[in-house]
Structure 1
Amino acid sequence: MSVDTYLRLRAVALGRALPRATRRHVHLDPAAEPLVVVGYHMPGDLGAPIGLMYGTHRNGPRTAVVGEPRNGKLRFQQLADFAMDLNGYFGRYIQPVLPRPARRTGSARRLPPAPQLIVPNAATAQWLCDVMGRRLRTLDTEGEYAVHPALPSIGAHLSFFASQRVPGSSLVLPLTDLLSQHWATGQLDALDAALAVQVAWIDNPAGIEDAEGAGSAGPVPDGDWEKTHLSDAIKAYQRLSDSGSNITRASEPMKIAVEAALQPAWEACWDAVQLLDGLPDADSVEDRWEMDRYQWHRHAERVRANKAYFSRRPQQLQGMRLLTRLERLTANLTRDMALDDPLVMANYIASGDALSGEITRRDAAGDRPSLSLRPDMPFRRPVGTELHWFAEPVRSPDGVTRPMVTVEVISADEKNVELRVVRGAVRKDRRRLLPQIGERVIFSQFGRREFRRDTLPAELPWTHVGVEGTSR
């Protein structure tokens, strides 16, 4: 049985969520005032927002609503305040970028801060960043159908965040995904999509039933709310508009309805942030957050130079590069989480992908060093399997490094595993790095991070080559 299955079964038995991780694997600093956004769009029309609640403080949310979401012109007119507020928020982080620290010098990180978007779930992130970003950035600020200049600007920023929704990034944080990553509930994965229910499983098991009756956290509103409150608010807008009321006055019924509907999701977001903030940072989080900051300030430079361009449809080679990047980032995140967090590593030990135990023999005198280990669990990987172990960090003039020792399995049974060193401590002057007798160690499949350059293969696939063999 895997550790994850065990945790789910125990959560069902206990009636509360259990930790999947002992450390937080994303960057989160409430004191830095990340921006929380919850919202609804018209069912079946992702480009028609109904209302948004947003802000950097729990007790001070702002609300933007569209009195008649089906009216495109009115939609952009009423989103102008939201766009200006977001431009003001992002503007705090647009500043001259400092040189990127070299990874091998051990120099202090000097990159300026970057903004963060926190949303209830991945669906809201996709709608807000991908859909709304693409729609807003292509609007025209001149001519008969001119819109407020803040709308295309905020569209460019949101499109940037859409491009950074990759494994390991902390620029956009969908809370249901993060809670699932750090806690196991006793319900199906599909039910974990309800943020308020997840929070109740973790922090208030007695309130699970009440949380199940809460409305949708967005971006699609609850069906009952759509039939009653949304329909009534649209009718009220039309009635007040026909009677000569201005847009703000006519949209008041919609604002009241949207605020009441989104308030539970808003509160659940801040409850989730508080839960995540209670976990200590994993060691590798700062390195990934440094890269996030670097990406943001590259985007800020393009914005200042009026060169923040985005492709409407990725070309074949762009898609290929993206897939390569996603594979690399996924592998690095999986590695970092396992090495940073003993509870995550326990999954790999239980499945036989990692080997834990006590060193019972250490032979550093022969031509090739070898080790014997008493395993905590049966290890059934074949002879010749290579595993990695990281020794204690070593300080040098070039910074802090953590030597890695690679071994291969010579033989294995339930009581003893024989290992031969193949890299990292083969030379006699490095054999001091080997673990001592009686030391508890974990050998795993995870080695160094991948830092491959984003280059094309020697031969392009046929899908990315033109008729005469030239790239398209």
Structure 2
Amino acid sequence: MSVLGAVARMKALRDGRAVPLASVRHVRLAEDPLVLIPLKLAGEAAAPLAAMVGNHPDKARVLLVPQPRNRDLRFAFFAELGRIVLGEVAAATATAETIEIKRGERKGETYERYLDAPQILVPNRAAIDFLRMAGRATRFRQTDGEWPVAPEVPVLGRWLTWFADRSDYPGASALCAMTELLGAHWASGQSSMEDGNLAALLGWIDPGPSLAALMGAPAPGRTLVGRDMAELAEDPLTVPPAGPATDPTFDNEILAPMITAYDTAPEGPAREHAEELLRERLAEQMEPTWRLMWHAVGLLRELPEAPHVPNRFEGDRQSFTNFEESLDEGVPQARHDGAVAAARRLASLEAAASRYSVQRALDDPLVMAEYRLTGEAFQGEVEAVDPENVNEKGLRRPLVTIRTKDRMRLEPGAIVHNTARTQKAEVLDVAFGRVTLRIENGMGNARKPLPGSIPEEGQAMCFTSFADEFRPGGSLPEPEDTPWTHGGPPEALLLEPNETTAEEMTHERA
């Protein structure tokens, strides 16, 4: 936890309300995201019990497995979920654009990229883990031969694997846990572990009787603060868990007898009635979370979208396009990454994490404040400018003196970056709250600089020791050339789709 994050949590605890950590929204929200609330059978890794799913708060569908230990019922559930998810995938492939690569060895080549990509929102990280396991449990199933499943099941499994893998990328929006989205934008007065409870976290962000009513909890006749809302959310009978695990008391006292009633009911109307009762009871368990999910979507929509979000969404669209094409070409998914595929994925994740942290700071003054506190950035007012200064080659290199109150840890010779435009400067001197810089580029014509490229006196400016720059990954051997130190060539070259390609192609076109 950062210093400012810790201060924000203490302030939230004192004031009884969450403190904003961001002034803009650092994630894309689709116009009609697919909200999915899964429930699983206790003690089973990937045995579905029920799900509430839909694109609109008033149009929820309840999917049910009345006996999760029944294989046929489980895969019927996945087939129905598959039709919903694949419908979202098909809708995102309706239109595409042609992109020309402008960098690298493939300069001048063109490729197609879909203009949209599906988005799934789930309550918490545990729901993402469940979908990842469900993908592993379904993507290798056969549609013919012994124990066949519906054609949608293995395709759903492959897409769930893609969604889960994409969720590991910081800033990606294909599959998001709502508790993580909210936690990135607000600091509550409770611990990070307690923030995993969607109802409790929302209680700190938007305390009051209206949210208590959405939870289905009785509101006391007094002013509510975050601590009060969190206490209301702790009662699993009044505010059921957001899943995928259900409350043990509910499992033992309500769910188990109802499943037994379904098992013992004779075929026909009696069993259908038992199934309908179970569906209604599980729907009651998921409805509070369903309402809270859409309330959270509304809170996030109130924040303006950060400028770099569309750029990161290009990575989602490229990855989505690559994976959809790999399915059309029949490229299989590996059960496990080989050495080269794992190294590529790790490098891609590290690059995405670095870009995300930089872009958040450039987009958001509240995030930038953390870097100013650590001395990695400074902000101030231009005190003096020498626009006619030249270097030893006679090139224009303006000198700028900035007065700042920020703690400076940059030394002469350091290169800093202007956050307002693509422009580098060298630190020449740091003394008595003043920083002297020499602008090195970004001015255009040497005789007639671009408007705004040379700072003016009184102008507020911010410089950082980091920049949003694309750094190509290191070279890796082909899978068939994997050295023996890393396991040698894989026995079967069944590689995962290259996630790095999605990120690299997005930057190559720029």
* Common topology (TM > 0.5): yes
The 5-angstrom pairing of residues 48-447 of structure 1 reads 48-95=47-94, 97-100=96-99, 111-128=114-131, 130-165=132-167, 166-205=169-208, 206=224, 207-213=229-235, 214-240=239-265, 242=266, 248-303=272-327, 305-366=328-389, 367=391, 368-391=397-420, 402-408=421-427, 410-424=428-442, 428-429=446-447, 433-447=453-467
Q: Aligned equivalents of 1:278 and 1:221: distance in 2?
A: 31
For 2:18, the equivalent position in structure 1 comes to 17
Deviations 1:410-440 (A, max 9, x none): 3334522233445545984476623222111
Deviations 1:132-151 (A, max 9, x none): 11211111111231112121
| AA matched with 2:284 | A
Kindly tell me: are residues 434 and 187 of structure 1, through their superposed partners in 2, closer, same or farther at Cα, counting changes over 3 Å?
Answer: same
Gaps of 5+ in 2: 209-223, 392-396, 491-510
Kindly tell me: are residues 248 and 335 of structure 1, through their superposed partners in 2, closer, same or farther at Cα, counting changes over 3 Å?
Answer: farther
Kindly tell me: are residues 308 and 120 of structure 1, through their superposed partners in 2, closer, same or farther at Cα, counting changes over 3 Å?
Answer: farther
Q: Aligned equivalents of 1:459 and 1:313: distance in 2?
A: 17
Kindly tell me: are residues 64 and 374 of structure 1, through their superposed partners in 2, closer, same or farther at Cα, counting changes over 3 Å?
Answer: same
TM-score normalized by the length of structure 1: 0.87
Checking the alignment, whether the CA contact within 8 Å between 2:93 and 2:116 is kept in structure 1 is no
Secondary structure of 1:53 counterpart: strand
Gaps of 5+ in 1: 392-401
Q: Aligned equivalents of 2:487 and 2:230: distance in 1?
A: 60
Secondary structure of 1:79 counterpart: helix
Deviations 1:4-27 (A, max 9, x none): 222212111110011111111111
Checking the alignment, whether the CA contact within 8 Å between 2:362 and 2:419 is kept in structure 1 is no
Q: Aligned equivalents of 1:71 and 1:457: distance in 2?
A: 45
Secondary structure of 1:92 counterpart: helix
| AA matched with 2:423 | M
Kindly tell me: are residues 346 and 140 of structure 1, through their superposed partners in 2, closer, same or farther at Cα, counting changes over 3 Å?
Answer: same
Give, in angstroms, the shift of residue 322 of structure 1.
Answer: 0.5
For 1:398, the equivalent position in structure 2 comes to none
| AA matched with 2:358 | R
| AA matched with 2:461 | V
Give, in angstroms, the shift of residue 183 of structure 1.
Answer: 0.8
For 2:484, the equivalent position in structure 1 comes to 466
Q: Aligned equivalents of 1:379 and 1:267: distance in 2?
A: 47
Structure 1 stretch 35-44 or stretch 207-216: which is displaced more? 207-216
Give, in angstroms, the shift of residue 283 of structure 1.
Answer: 0.7
Q: Aligned equivalents of 2:38 and 2:81: distance in 1?
A: 12
Deviations 1:184-241 (A, max 9, x none): 111100010011111121112524432332221111112222222221222122122x
Percent identity of the aligned residues?
31
Secondary structure of 1:314 counterpart: coil
Give, in angstroms, the shift of residue 316 of structure 1.
Answer: 0.7
Q: Aligned equivalents of 2:424 and 2:59: distance in 1?
A: 52
Q: Aligned equivalents of 2:402 and 2:348: distance in 1?
A: 37
Give, in angstroms, the shift of residue 115 of structure 1.
Answer: 1.4
Q: Aligned equivalents of 1:426 and 1:244: distance in 2?
A: 79
Deviations 1:374-411 (A, max 9, x none): 112221334433221144xxxxxxxxxx4312323x33
Checking the alignment, whether the CA contact within 8 Å between 1:52 and 1:65 is kept in structure 2 is yes
Give, in angstroms, the shift of residue 69 of structure 1.
Answer: 1.3
Q: Aligned equivalents of 2:488 and 2:134: distance in 1?
A: 36
Deviations 1:161-198 (A, max 9, x none): 12322112111121111101111111100010011111
Q: Aligned equivalents of 1:174 and 1:441: distance in 2?
A: 36
Checking the alignment, whether the CA contact within 8 Å between 1:360 and 1:374 is kept in structure 2 is yes
Q: Aligned equivalents of 1:87 and 1:467: distance in 2?
A: 41
Secondary structure of 1:99 counterpart: strand
Checking the alignment, whether the CA contact within 8 Å between 1:50 and 1:66 is kept in structure 2 is yes
Checking the alignment, whether the CA contact within 8 Å between 1:379 and 1:413 is kept in structure 2 is no
| AA matched with 1:114 | A
Secondary structure of 2:45 counterpart: coil
Checking the alignment, whether the CA contact within 8 Å between 1:380 and 1:412 is kept in structure 2 is no
Structure 1 stretch 360-369 or stretch 311-320: which is displaced more? 360-369
| AA matched with 1:149 | P
Secondary structure of 2:97 counterpart: coil
Secondary structure of 2:156 counterpart: helix
Kindly tell me: are residues 248 and 386 of structure 1, through their superposed partners in 2, closer, same or farther at Cα, counting changes over 3 Å?
Answer: farther
Is 1:456 the counterpart of 2:475 in the alignment?
Answer: yes
| AA matched with 1:315 | G
For 2:211, the equivalent position in structure 1 comes to none
Q: Aligned equivalents of 1:355 and 1:457: distance in 2?
A: 38
Q: Aligned equivalents of 2:486 and 2:409: distance in 1?
A: 50
Q: Aligned equivalents of 1:243 and 1:127: distance in 2?
A: 31
| AA matched with 1:177 | E
Deviations 1:51-110 (A, max 9, x none): 1110111111111111111223331134332222332332222346331366899xxx98
Q: Aligned equivalents of 2:414 and 2:182: distance in 1?
A: 34
- Count residues in correspondence: 450
TM-score normalized by the length of structure 2: 0.81
Secondary structure of 2:52 counterpart: strand
For 2:507, the equivalent position in structure 1 comes to none
Secondary structure of 1:309 counterpart: coil
Kindly tell me: are residues 467 and 211 of structure 1, through their superposed partners in 2, closer, same or farther at Cα, counting changes over 3 Å?
Answer: closer
Structure 1 stretch 309-318 or stretch 294-303: which is displaced more? 294-303
For 1:397, the equivalent position in structure 2 comes to none
Structure 1 stretch 77-86 or stretch 338-347: which is displaced more? 77-86
Q: Aligned equivalents of 1:223 and 1:333: distance in 2?
A: 39
Kindly tell me: are residues 92 and 442 of structure 1, through their superposed partners in 2, closer, same or farther at Cα, counting changes over 3 Å?
Answer: same
